[in-house]
Structure 1
Amino acid sequence: MRSSTLLSAALAAGAAAATPSRTTVELPRRAEALPAVSASGNAFWANGKRFYMRGIDYQPGGSAANLDPLANPTICRRDIQRFADLGVNTIRVYAVDNAADHTVCMQALNDAGIYLVLDVNNPQYSINRAKPAPSYNEVYLQSVFAVIDEFSKYSNTLAFFSGNEVINHDEGSTQAAPYVKATTRDMRQYMRNRGHRVIPVGYSAADVSDNRMQSAQYFNCGTDDERSDFFAFNDYSWCSPSSFTTSGWDVKVRNFTGYGLPIFLSEWGCITNGRDFSELSALMSSQMTGVYSGGLMYEYSLEENKFGIIDLTKNPVSELPEFGKFKSALSKYPAPTDNGGFVSTTNSVACPTTDSVWDLGSWGPTALPAIPEGAKKYMTEGAGKGPGLDGSGSQNSGEDVHTTASPGSGQPTTTPGSGNGNGQGGAAGHLSPPDFSIFAVTGVVAFCTLFGTLLL
């Protein structure tokens, strides 16, 4: 009789343990971590499916504001609601504070199903196209690697840009190309050496027809450790009313057919004749998906250049007419549901020959600067705390002369460090807190089993 009472009491305790009391505070539900995106063949992939970028460029206040929108939960949550309303799946941010924590905003993006394409540079820490040699140095790379350390933790970090429009119309700007390519090499080596998830790294080229193709070829030539994982460029040649052929986009598809790496538009959206965002009709169609993986519309917030679709200076924030037009275009031209005619193989191309237009200075068509001696320690020790957006800068911290890298020097050189423990194929992310109720139930089962044994 007493044993039966104890057994009944145990079952009652189990029921009580499995049912939350009225005073239990339920934590907010979090979405599972988004599947990490990888580059394979000439396309991007997420969870075994072709991934097309349908995104928007996002840097409130522009570069002059020196603001990291992903380090401020109030700002990012305000804007993520509108990203979700638009229906974008990717945003690009041009500068972040690598000394700040981004957990809240990256989780909010994840919960909204949105990925991040991130520039690792900022105005203080970047390659200076006017004097590239001294700007490629230990201080600069420490800042770059600190960005990687922070954002490789999140599975919705889609890709890194090693440079943005460093090569442009300016005379001599092409001589900065070897230093950007060396940075790309160093970033890829750092991720592998530190045991991080390997996130695609590439370059965002300016809308400059004179050197766009040479840039594309240059970042996809040489040894495997030197080549980019993708190539992107900014394009404003489709000015409505226009079409696939009127804009010249048909030529750009032909030019990049067989390129061997994923390509996307890192900025698009001409404003010359107003905006209807009809570019998406081609970008999401079979006319382009065999070569292009979508793109990022420029831009979210209204700045001095008048490209934005949201006015952040108003209280409350005001949606401009272009907001609704972009939302309608995204709805009208959805992402393809198939593989879009991708090419499964990845291949390099020949390095462009140097001439009066493609001038790489003393480096010639293939040579690259070796990683600065003082930066090698980061490969084994890690970058440590980043300098943030208010550091003293790095552009004059190096030497005017660099040694030449040996081919293949960017391959992993050490046993991967602990990093974030993600490994090469892992997908880091912030998941929901574990549900401990299972342990309570398990404990009751064990308790009942014990008493059942005593009854025998």
Structure 2
Amino acid sequence: MIAYLHLWLPRLLTLTLLLLNLARSQNLDTIETYGSKFFFSDNGTQFFIRGVIYQQVPSDDEQGSVATNLARASADDLYVDPLSDAASCQRDVPYLQRLQTNVVRTYGIDPSKNHSQCLEEFANAGIYVLVDLPAPGLTIGNKNPVWNDALYDRYTQVIDAMHNFTNLLGFVVGDNVVQGIGQDDAGPYIKAAVRDLKAYIRQKEYRAIPVGYVSDIIQGNSNVIDPVSKDAWQYLNCGNPNETIDFFGGNAVSFCKGSSYPSSGYKNATGELSNYSIPTFLAGYGCSNGHERSFDEIKAIYSRTMTSVWSGGIIYEYFKQGPDPGYGLVSVAGSEVSILSNFADVSTNMAFVTPTGTSSASYQPSNTAASCPEAGATQLPPNPRAAVVSAGISSTPSTPSTPSSPSATGSSQLPQPATGGLSTGAKAGIGVGVVVLILLLAAILFVLYKRKMAKAKRKDGTKNGDQWNKNELAADSVDREARGYNHMAASSPRAEMEGAMLDREVAADRPIVEAPGDSGIRTEMPTKRASVSAPTEISQ
């Protein structure tokens, strides 16, 4: 085995380096839900979202929001997958970091494409990804809703494509499609999708990835809570936990220049959701009038008053869309990025927010899901693939598990690859790498030890006058010399032999015995070397 060790050492070293690189690329802790809050799963620190919508529409001629354009599109329409273009992700990461972004939300991705490079770029920058499951022409609509094979396949394909990334925050099953909770409304179809997708995740033995829903919470620019959306968020959070959403995102575009916490409707929305039993955040915020945007609401969103209920928010949006200059934080053309006026507004306001929360170990959830409204007691649509995932659906409501106790507490910060806590997978990778390195060092020491012992044995043989009988000459020495080995090195066995013989001649006053110079006998065994290569308080 020792003879082949020099062949395996470089391979073992390469494997070790690959494992260590994998550990470094997987060092973002996953995010989990517990009660009405998000937490880092490793250290139990509360997680607050500082996000932006990260999605482009195919053309600047499109009008309205990106989500609206995608929902209206047909299945044949093209859309931009923002997580499959590594060059664009690399281009945008420095700007996202200047905005203190730790979450990007995408409205549509292509599950057949490779997303690993973008997700790695974001992970290295401490950025998580929130992924919407629908696509143009493949979504549960608010009119004539269905939950069928095509939708099931689309949604599960996205789950399969994204589940293994540790910086995946969660999936959005629908955006503002529930206009009612009766039999002919979209509510039961969204709930059926949540049921089947959560069962699919369990059946595939993926980690417990949160599945949630997004809808408007305030009517236009008023301070009035949207009653339809209120019914939706209550209905999707009631009943069997295997059928309920894991988080709720609210769209709010009512905070414009001159607005305040009460006048924008933020105060009313916070009150309405104060007893909600799952995490809530603003899934799309920014004044609906692009010319009236100042993003002063950022200070309110991350104040202690709102963070007691909300887990941060996501800005609509990163890319400039359409002719209205008020929307978007940057304008891009190929590899060039131009900063717009809103970029400075967001950056300035974000610099003043330092949300503080609790730790999962000291947090005791007190909110409970409300009972389902009578109007929502209709039977849910069946699972399109019941035969495939029926084993994953439990008839008994599951009990959410408590996250692991934290090793550190305090305010939530952007996860930093160089200093943040490592995920379980990262620690395992590093552990394996360390074990392999130890084995490598042990093997090298063993080889060196054997050589030292062999050299000592040769010296002992010389002192005993047995220099002609000891086995110094390798059996294949002639072949080795023919292959060009340098046996005349000063440190070679022959040089040592001649020196020892000369000393003995002088001591014994007898002639020197020489081997014929053309004997062809090589007196050296070539040495083999193993190559190792402070939060703002706001008025009520």
Tell me if both proteins adopt one fold, taking TM over 0.5 as the criterion: yes
2:446 paired residue number = 446
1:379 CA drift (Å): 6.8
Deviations 1:251-274 (A, max 9, x none): 111111111111111100115353
Whole-Å separation in 1 of the counterparts to 2:277 and 2:283: 18
Letter matched to residue 190 of structure 2: V
1:195 CA drift (Å): 0.5
Residues 109/380 of structure 1: CA separation in 2 closer, same or farther (3 Å cut)? farther
Whether 1:238 and 2:255 are equivalent positions in the alignment is yes
Residue among 110, 118, 130 paired with 1:117: 130
Residues 328/167 of structure 1: CA separation in 2 closer, same or farther (3 Å cut)? same
Whole-Å separation in 2 of the counterparts to 1:266 and 1:298: 8
Whether 1:196 and 2:206 are equivalent positions in the alignment is yes
Whole-Å separation in 2 of the counterparts to 1:251 and 1:411: 32
Q: Comparing 186-195 with 59-68, which one deviates more in the overlay?
A: 59-68
Residues 329/164 of structure 1: CA separation in 2 closer, same or farther (3 Å cut)? same
SS of match in other structure, 2:118: helix
1:318 paired residue number = 338
Residue among 284, 301, 305 paired with 1:283: 301
1:366 CA drift (Å): 4.6
Residues 438/322 of structure 1: CA separation in 2 closer, same or farther (3 Å cut)? farther
Whether 1:186 and 2:199 are equivalent positions in the alignment is no
SS of match in other structure, 1:106: helix
Does structure 2 retain, via aligned residues, the 8 Å contact 1:56–1:296? yes
1:70 CA drift (Å): 0.5
1:451 CA drift (Å): 4.9
1:327 paired residue number = 347
Letter matched to residue 194 of structure 1: K
Deviations 1:394-442 (A, max 9, x none): xxxxxxxxxxxx9938979xxxxxxxxxxxxx86689899687665434
Residue among 307, 313, 321 paired with 2:327: 307
Whole-Å separation in 2 of the counterparts to 1:214 and 1:437: 59
Does structure 2 retain, via aligned residues, the 8 Å contact 1:219–1:231? no
1:193 CA drift (Å): 0.8
1:60 CA drift (Å): 1.7
2:235 paired residue number = 218
TM-score, normalised relative to structure 1: 0.75
Deviations 1:360-417 (A, max 9, x none): xxxx435211202x45326789xxxxxxxxxxxxxxxxxxxxxxxx9938979xxxxx
SS of match in other structure, 2:368: coil
Whether 1:349 and 2:370 are equivalent positions in the alignment is yes
* Greater RCO, 1 or 2 (C-alpha within 8 Å, sep 6+): 1
Whole-Å separation in 1 of the counterparts to 2:13 and 2:33: 46
Deviations 1:99-120 (A, max 9, x none): 1111111011100000011101
Whole-Å separation in 2 of the counterparts to 1:182 and 1:275: 38
1:59 paired residue number = 55
Residue among 30, 34, 38 paired with 1:40: 34
Residue among 238, 258, 271 paired with 1:254: 271
Does structure 1 retain, via aligned residues, the 8 Å contact 2:45–2:359? yes
Residue identity (%)? 28
SS of match in other structure, 1:70: coil
1:375-394 → structure 2 map (5 Å cutoff): 376-377=387-388
1:389 paired residue number = none
Does structure 2 retain, via aligned residues, the 8 Å contact 1:142–1:378? no
Whole-Å separation in 2 of the counterparts to 1:437 and 1:187: 42
1:159 CA drift (Å): 1.1
1:408 paired residue number = 395
Residues 76/174 of structure 1: CA separation in 2 closer, same or farther (3 Å cut)? farther
Residue among 114, 117, 123 paired with 1:101: 114
1:27 CA drift (Å): 8.2
SS of match in other structure, 2:88: helix
SS of match in other structure, 1:245: coil
Does structure 2 retain, via aligned residues, the 8 Å contact 1:310–1:317? yes
Letter matched to residue 346 of structure 2: F
2:163 paired residue number = 152
Whole-Å separation in 2 of the counterparts to 1:183 and 1:269: 29
Whole-Å separation in 2 of the counterparts to 1:346 and 1:201: 19
SS of match in other structure, 2:292: coil
Whole-Å separation in 2 of the counterparts to 1:109 and 1:339: 25
Does structure 2 retain, via aligned residues, the 8 Å contact 1:155–1:427? no
Whole-Å separation in 2 of the counterparts to 1:283 and 1:59: 23
Residues 349/194 of structure 1: CA separation in 2 closer, same or farther (3 Å cut)? same
Q: Comparing 124-133 with 187-196, which one deviates more in the overlay?
A: 124-133
Whole-Å separation in 2 of the counterparts to 1:221 and 1:38: 20
Letter matched to residue 127 of structure 1: I
Q: Comparing 191-200 with 301-310, which one deviates more in the overlay?
A: 301-310
Q: Would you say how many aligned residue pairs link Structure 1 and Structure 2?
A: 388
SS of match in other structure, 1:212: helix
SS of match in other structure, 2:52: strand
Residue among 82, 90, 95 paired with 1:77: 90
Deviations 1:128-158 (A, max 9, x none): 222213xx11221111111111111000000
Residues 367/105 of structure 1: CA separation in 2 closer, same or farther (3 Å cut)? same
Whole-Å separation in 2 of the counterparts to 1:258 and 1:410: 21
Whole-Å separation in 1 of the counterparts to 2:317 and 2:339: 13
Whole-Å separation in 2 of the counterparts to 1:159 and 1:202: 8
1:313 CA drift (Å): 4.1
Whether 1:68 and 2:88 are equivalent positions in the alignment is no
Whether 1:89 and 2:102 are equivalent positions in the alignment is yes
Letter matched to residue 58 of structure 1: Y
Residues 70/314 of structure 1: CA separation in 2 closer, same or farther (3 Å cut)? closer
Residues 171/444 of structure 1: CA separation in 2 closer, same or farther (3 Å cut)? closer
1:77 CA drift (Å): 1.4
Residues 44/315 of structure 1: CA separation in 2 closer, same or farther (3 Å cut)? closer
Whole-Å separation in 2 of the counterparts to 1:410 and 1:451: 66
Letter matched to residue 152 of structure 1: H
Residues 348/447 of structure 1: CA separation in 2 closer, same or farther (3 Å cut)? same
Whole-Å separation in 2 of the counterparts to 1:89 and 1:123: 27
1:450 CA drift (Å): 4.2
2:310 paired residue number = 292
Larger Rg: 2
